[in-house]
Structure 1
Amino acid sequence: MPAKSEPYEAPAIVTFAKEVEFRRTQAGLTKKELAEKLGFADSYVGQVELCKNLPSEEFAAALDTFFKTDGLFLRLLERINETRHLAILPPGFPEYLGYEKKASHLRIFSTNLISGLFQTEAYATMVISGIMGSASERLVAERMERKAIFDRSDPPHTFLILDEGVIRRNVGGQEVMRDQLAALLEVGRRKRTQVQIVPYSAGYHAGLTGSFILLGFEDGPEVAYTESSGEGMLLKQRDRVALQVVTWDLVQGHTLSAKESLAMIQHTMEQL
């Protein structure tokens, strides 16, 4: 989560802050005066208005009582709690999810971890809990729900490329990793899905700069999503998407065949 000195930018949090400021100024009160009337520190009121601190339930209830707003602030707080996790997702990712649901084909390259769409619940929990804290349970559940696209009557054609380090890296312990690799083998055996590995022997290759996803559609141009160091970007500009397509082609030129790749995954799993 962001430090308290940094602003929370989720729309629900901003709306709460703006509403506090509006009601306070309409009443002709300073932050200190409002704080005194509510029994809170004036610094806390200022932090909430600047989106540098999240409002508590006690604060929301006190605002509703003082301004006679019939539960407005408590309802806004409820909305904050419902959407708070969106504030910690990489930029562009919420919009990407909308495209993911509609894609007719996916080309995914992962350089460090199993891509989210193919993670087991235990693997995803290990990955997410280390950085997302209290929002982890909800985010893991939402990640699992994304897999529903493969249960459609017309699932997307999917091409997944992993750097060898992804399957060698022990995430969550032997049991978690063994189950994850077993799940990956099942993915590779699906119709419309192909899994390939870039072996260590390939040395340097274009994909080492970061993971990315290319989404194709039956009735529109491709879009791309890139992610590195926890920062994401959705690309729609034709020239930038084209560059990602070139990178994909360069990476695929270093892959093992699908059969060889599944054999490597099987062997790695048996060694755990």
Structure 2
Amino acid sequence: MANIQSLDPTASPLDYYGWELRRQREAHGLRQGQLGEIIFCTGSLVGQIETTRKVPTRDFSERVDAALGTDGLFSRLVGLVLRSQLPTWFQPYAEMEAKAAYISTYQAQLVYGLLQTEGYARAVLDVEHLGNVDEMVAARMERQRILQRDQPPALWVVLDEAALLREIGGRDVMRRQLAHLLTFAADPWVQIQVLPLATGQHTGMMGTFTLLRFDADPDLFYMDGYDRGHMTASPEVIKERSFGYARLQASALSPEDSVRLITRVMEERYAAPHCNEQR
């Protein structure tokens, strides 16, 4: 547990956030409980964030900015804080993902992180029971903010049908997740194709991978494993994987047929219990 008097603001984004929160609060002559009342939380929570025992949320940060008139300072800092909660080996990829102009990914088992609902992400991340699931879920939700930009990256996802059939978090979580995927059908910058199980062997059998393209930097290939990621700008790898991805797109259902399949799986496999009873 961090001691507020000895907190080093240079140690990490979280330490800097806590140090700056305390500094700004005291500059406004507020006790922790008083600030908590203003932003509708407990003084204990304010204290825990100041001492790095709790990771701030974006909502908390926006409330603090409004209460202290800090011109978006904490709303900007929280992005760095949440990104720092990602696994160390994954952070370089997340940084490049946030800069990409075009993302194309094949997902063999799970829905892509940028398209996951909070409930689905929580179920996935809770498998290892690491004790910091709240922080990891918040970090994953923060990653998704790149899709809300005025100029978001173009995102093309080839999703194996197995990911639709694998029940993650229970039937309700899956129903909400598939419904969420359907909301992207009208998004001009997101395309989702489902690769049917009937396809048989295909160029994605090596596993999940992602290609990132940039406006001014070399393309990147990324593939993650259990506890590490592999990222390369090798022209040979980029050429091979880009061609392989094009073949995956050709083998997958069209975006329109993918919408119909996702809808059918959602309605037939994950229908609410009362819906089944009425049939």
Give the TM-score, by structure 2 length: 0.66
For residues 180-221 of structure 1, give each alpha carbon's deviation from its aligned partner in whole angstroms, at most 9, with x where no partner exists: 000011123211211101101101112121111111111122
Partner of 2:122: 125
2:260 to 246, 259, 263: 263
2:164 counterpart of 1:167: yes
In structure 2, relative to structure 1, the CA distance for the partners of 1:171 and 1:220 (3 Å cut) is: same
Q: Which residue of 1 aligns with 2:87?
A: 89
Change beyond 3 A, Cα 1:193–1:114: same
Alpha-carbon spacing, 1:181–1:90, altered in 2? closer, same or farther (3 Å): farther
User: Which of these two proteins has the greater Rg computed from alpha carbons?
Assistant: 1
SS at match of 2:151: coil
1:246, CA displacement in angstroms? 2.2
1:220 aligns to what SS in structure 2? coil
Report the 3-state secondary structure (helix = DSSP H, G, I; strand = E; otherwise coil) of the residue aligned with 1:133: coil
Q: Match for residue 30 of structure 1?
A: none
Contact 1:195 1:258 survives alignment (8 Å): yes
Q: 1:159 to 1:181 in 2, by over 3 A?
A: same
Once the two structures are aligned, what percentage of the paired residues are identical? 30
Residue in structure 1 matching 2:183, options 172, 182, 186: 186
Code of the residue aligned with 1:206 in structure 2: it is T
Instruction: Please say if residues 101 and 213 of structure 2, whose CA atoms lie closer than 8 Å, have aligned partners that are also in contact.
Output: yes
Write the distance in 2 (CA, Å) between the matches of 1:74 and 1:241.
40
TM-fit CA distance, 1:113:
0.5
Give the CA deviation at 1:241. Answer: 2.1
Structure 1 residues 1-272: aligned runs within 5 Å: 57=1, 71=6, 89=87, 91=89, 93-131=90-128, 133-271=130-268, 272=270
Structure 1 residues 71 and 132: alpha-carbon distance in aligned structure 2, compared to 1, 3 A threshold: same
Shifted more, 112-121 versus 132-141: the winner is 132-141
Secondary structure class of the residue paired with 1:209? coil
Deviation at 1:225, TM superposition (A): 1.1
Aligned to 2:34: none
Describe the shift of the 1:249–1:132 C-alpha distance in structure 2 as closer, same or farther (beyond 3 A). farther
Count of aligned pairs between the two proteins: 205
Q: Residue type matched to 1:114 in 2? A: V
User: 1:250, CA displacement in angstroms?
Assistant: 2.3
C-alpha deviation, 1:85, in angstroms: 9.5
Give the SS at the match of 1:221: coil
CA distance in 2, matches of 1:112, 1:163: 7
Instruction: Note the residue ranges of structure 1 that are not aligned, 5 or more in a row.
Output: 1-56, 62-69
CA distance 1:189–1:87, change in 2 (3 Å): closer
- TM-superposed CA distance for 1:74, in Å, is 11
Letter in 2 for 1:127: V
Choose between structure 1 and 2 for higher RCO, CA contacts under 8 A separated by at least 6 residues: 1
Change in Cα spacing, 1:245 to 1:222, as seen in structure 2 (3 Å) is same
- Determine if contact 1:85/1:135 at 8 Å carries over to the other structure: no
TM-score by length of 1: 0.68
Question: Separation in 1 of the partners of 2:150 and 2:83?
Answer: 31
C-alpha RMSD over aligned residues: 2.7
Contact 1:110 1:211 in 2 (8 A): yes
Change (3 A) 1:230 1:264: farther
